[in-house]
Every structure is written in C-alpha cells, then in structure tokens.
Amino acid sequence: MGIRVTDVSFSIAKRVESGSCGFCRVILNDCIAINRIRVNRSGGEYSVLLPRSEKQSSSTGGKPIVQLLDEETVEIVTNAVMEQYHKLIEDSNGLYQQKPRFRSKEHIN
C-alpha cells in the first residue's frame, strides 16, 4: 500500500507577495493526520513546510515533528497542499478562512 493524500483542509489561506500564505491539515491514507503544515512564499516561489516543535534552538529552529522520508511522499503531499491552496485562493478571491464550528447548546454542558 502506497501513501496517498485523502484530505487537505486549510484553516486559513491568503494571497501574499512574501511570507506565510496559510496553514492546513493533511490526512494520509485516511488514518494519519499531519497538522500545522504551512505554505510559504519567498522570492516568488512557494514551499510547503512541515510542522516543527515549539522549542527553538539557535541552529535548527525546533525539531521536526513529522519527517517524510522519501521524495515521492514529499512530492505527493506538496502537490496536494499546493493544489488545494491555489483552488481556495481562486475560489475565495485571495482570502479563505475556515468557518467557525459552533456546537449546539446540549454539547456545551
């Protein structure tokens, strides 16, 4: 069984000239979630950045939380994230924000 992206959901996506463009969650094979994946733009090029630990190190900027160990998987995830990002930006005229999820009153107590 190979790796396949079964869902990409952005919490926010925006059109920018440089910097952070958005954050998303990727589901692999319907059973593995990778949260806090960031889309970044620098020098006109987009990149997909995997989450890193909060603890900052002077040389590494935090340890990787998730590592994709082969180029094929990196390419599969990157392509899926960028495809969804560009679709949201086009459909939302440059700024997408996930709608708040409200719980009914019976679930609050």
CB neighbours of 78 closer than 8 A, spacing ≥ 6? 48
**Which three-class secondary structure state does DSSP give residue 65?**
coil
Identify the pLDDT of residue 59.
58
Q: Check if the beta carbon of residue 1 is closer than 8 Å to that of residue 30.
A: no
Average pLDDT per consecutive 10 residues, the chain (109 residues; last block may be shorter): 91 94 96 95 95 68 84 95 95 86 50
Query: Who's near 15: CB < 8 A, 6+ residues apart?
Result: 21, 89, 94, 95
The radius of gyration of the chain's CA atoms, rounded to the nearest angstrom, is 16
pLDDT of residue 44: 92
Tokens linked to 15 = 């059109």
- pTM assigned to the model: 0.80
Give residue 92's pLDDT. Answer: 93
Average pLDDT, the chain: 87
- Going from the N-terminus, what domains does the chain have, and what CATH number goes with each? 5-97 (3.30.1120.40)
pLDDT, position 10: 95
